A and B are shown apart, each in its own frame.
Chain A
């Protein structure tokens, strides 16, 4: 390998032989990754691959400006390795995860504790950062919450109403999805992929399907790629609409809260019209999509889409017109753009900090190679910006659907996947409604999955929520939390 190009480059949704991934001695590997991050590139995924009694590190770096992904690996080792976290905070959770999964110790890591498990004993509660002082008090929230939401533990260090520090402990929903994939794909794998994060079914299923298609060297029929894009945008519409309603609900602004709850259901029903399931279960399959759509159903879809889009427009106008809502949203939970880049935020949370990051634009794959959605950006980084980005994306996804529903390609929906190439690595990114969903698949010599790494956007973004709360009122936590609306199970895997 020459020094000039320490990484192998590939595009989103493609594969390359494992032997073609440059292998570096540990120190060189970390130096190259560090240099790439220093240049402003982004750590999409960073994980270990077990190798006999040792393990090696693999880094997937996203070169957003160059529309390519860069992969490199280290030689197998055991024991400790120099941590990237002190210089590149975006590696923080990745390195904790590597330590947890493979026993490789990042040194010096500023906050080395389990990500999901407490050495197999249970979720990662305990050993929280504490602020000492006579005025400081600690508030523990969760894992059982008042609403019907997922379990997670939040530990606040407060001075009166002001939050000095928030630490988030997750892992209550760890199901061992990655472990279950070893030796796969199994017959149940696709169902597991659809439930990595239940509200991101289409994005995760599409990433999984693309990774397998890349490994098998096949491509889904064009019409299936088109349908996946349609379903992905419907998923975005439903969730963003739900989020706008939930944000309104958190500040007790009832008109938008009531309306959006209903309209979210309308969008979910459009997905159900495509595949019979409101969350899109059973639609995306490796090799294509399982359901054909005929013209009559598309017509009905278009009609109902128009109604729902008009209604969400009205509900959003109420929200933006209310001065009392603006007063709550503006300057609440701000994330500094520099910090956002450093911790590697993705999705609407990153775009609300003015960062131009959108997989559909940076790493187009599938139907997005032919049809683009403009990237929605807002500069302020606060709750208002995150709400605003969602609204922009609702409008642009609506526009995208209007155009693409007219431009359906003809053809079949499902092609035969074939067998997976042995000793091959595939990377698939999908811009889910929360942000970048990254699936990395590695096959062994037998053509079965050897390692499968899933990175949900929540994995990047939980740190953003903790930072957004610094210096804020603790009473604004639910609002900030909702403005990120991160997945617990997507993180816990």
Chain B
């Protein structure tokens, strides 16, 4: 039975640490560009500011607009709580929980896209169409990655699955998952989180009409999703679960930090892809995961 205290600590970790990640990425980008950059805690300040603001609603929007935003945030948080954290495992583990995690993320996306369509704006409809088109490919890659982990651990429960093998399979999986992380979190080269050009946006354009606390929920949800993917990536390739507690904390934090720095470096050194080339890159991520799956399969048979 999980204690009340443990749930509280988990919630606190996810809710409080998540907004740090975009801050780290921005610091890395600023550092590469030779700028000082925004403060590390900028997102916290933004969230605090947005929380105090009022909400402006489109006259076309039904109550579903705000409800979908809230659902989306809750779905990401629930998915995050399902993810085991090193030796501490997860608060709720059952056979097939990994599928619930994938579907919770899909539900979050569905809600965001739904809220975007609620506003009746041409921009947001366009963004929603883009988001779901690319999600089809990104989800194929995630499912394949999950399959890989499940084949190599012969399990369908996340706690058992995050016991990675070393070698080529892990490298392939890491590359595939990192690409998916960039796509799912709207980072360069798929999307540009810094752009102000609504015609080029994917994720950002869907939330143009969100304001105040609703926008805070969107931003915080995005940060949690980024942390979720980073933690998943680290644990899928490093055997964090088998380490003693102190080392596990170090590896987990170090790993997530490395992912954030990696994202920052990619954004600093790479231009964004044209939309028509995005499917190509996502297919590559999918193929990387497929090869990881083949390695896991063959390794298991040998």
Contact = CB atoms under 8 A, between A and B. Distances in A.
A251 interface: yes
A139 B122 contact: yes
Contact of A325 (B33, B122, B188, B271): B271
A92 B277 CA distance: 37
B276 A328 contact: no
Given A141-B199, A475-B200, A477-B199, A252 B188 contact: yes
B45 interface: no
Nearest to A256: B271
A4 interface: no
B131 interface: no
B268 A255 contact: yes
Q: Which of A252, A475, A477 has the most CB of B within 10 A?
A: A252
Contacts of A168: none
A384 to B, nearest CB: 13
Contact of B196 (A140, A141, A146): A146
Range, interface on chain A? 20 to 34
A34 to B, nearest CB: 39
A120 B277 CA distance: 46
Given A161-B275, A252-B272, A324-B270, A258 B199 contact: no
Given A147-B196, A474-B199, A475-B200, A255 B122 contact: no
Interface string A463-489: 000000000011111110000000000
Interface string A139-169: 1110000110000000000000100000000
B267 A139 contact: no
A138 interface: yes
Interface in A322-358: 322, 324-325, 327-328, 332
Interface in B165-189: 188-189
Contacts of A138: 122
A254 interface: yes
B33 A258 contact: yes
A137 interface: yes
Interface string A236-270: 00000000000010111111001100000000000
B65 to A, nearest CB: 21
B36 to A, nearest CB: 12
Contact of A252 (B130, B194, B199): B194
A420 to B, nearest CB: 47
B195 to A, nearest CB: 7
B199 A254 contact: no
Interface string B77-108: 00000000000000000000000000000000
Q: Which of B123, B192, B195, B199 has the most CB of A within 10 A?
A: B199
B34 interface: yes
A146 B267 contact: no
A221 to B, nearest CB: 43
Nearest to B188: A252
Interface string B1-24: 000000000000000000000000
A322 B275 contact: no
Interface in B188-209: 188-189, 192, 194-200
B32 interface: yes
| Majority-rule SS of B interface residues | helix
A107 to B, nearest CB: 35
A251 B190 CA distance: 11
A252 B122 contact: no
Contact of B197 (A161, A258, A259, A478): A478
A327 B32 contact: no
Given A137-B122, A139-B126, A254 B274 contact: no
Interface string A361-382: 0000000000000000000000
Contacts of B34: 258
Nearest to A154: B199
- Could you say which of A251, A332, A477 has the most chain B C-beta atoms within 10 Å of its C-beta? A251
Contacts of A328: 271-274
A324 B199 contact: no
B122 A254 contact: no
Nearest to B274: A328
A313 to B, nearest CB: 17
A138 B196 CA distance: 21
Contacts of A140: 122
Contact of B195 (A137, A252, A258, A477): A252
A254 B32 contact: yes
Contacts of A253: 270-272
A161 B123 CA distance: 11
Interface in B219-274: 267-274
B18 to A, nearest CB: 23
Contacts of B276: 473
B271 A141 contact: no
Given A139-B122, A252-B271, A478 B200 contact: yes
B269 to A, nearest CB: 7
B52 interface: no
Contacts of B272: 251-253, 324, 328
A255 B29 CA distance: 9
A178 B199 CA distance: 35
Interface in B101-123: 122-123
Which of A137, A141, A254, A324 counts the most B-chain CB atoms under 10 A from its CB? A254
Nearest to B195: A252
Nearest to B270: A324
Interface centre among B29, B130, B197, B277 (most CB of A within 10 A): B197
Contacts of B271: 248, 251-253, 322, 324-325, 327-328
A23 B162 CA distance: 88
Contacts of B192: 252
15 contacts: A139-B123, A139-B126, A139-B199, A248-B271, A251-B272, A252-B194, A252-B270, A253-B271, A254-B33, A254-B268, A325-B271, A327-B271, A327-B277, A477-B199, A478-B199
Interface of A: 137-141, 146-147, 161, 248, 250-255, 258-259, 322, 324-325, 327-328, 332, 473-479
9 closest A-B pairs by beta carbon, nearest first, are: A258-B33, A253-B271, A324-B271, A252-B272, A146-B196, A252-B192, A478-B197, A251-B271, A325-B271
Given A139-B199, A255-B33, 15 more contacts: A137-B125, A141-B198, A161-B130, A161-B275, A252-B195, A252-B270, A253-B271, A254-B267, A254-B269, A324-B272, A327-B271, A473-B274, A473-B275, A476-B274, A477-B200
Interface of B: 29, 32-35, 122-123, 125-126, 130, 188-189, 192, 194-200, 267-277
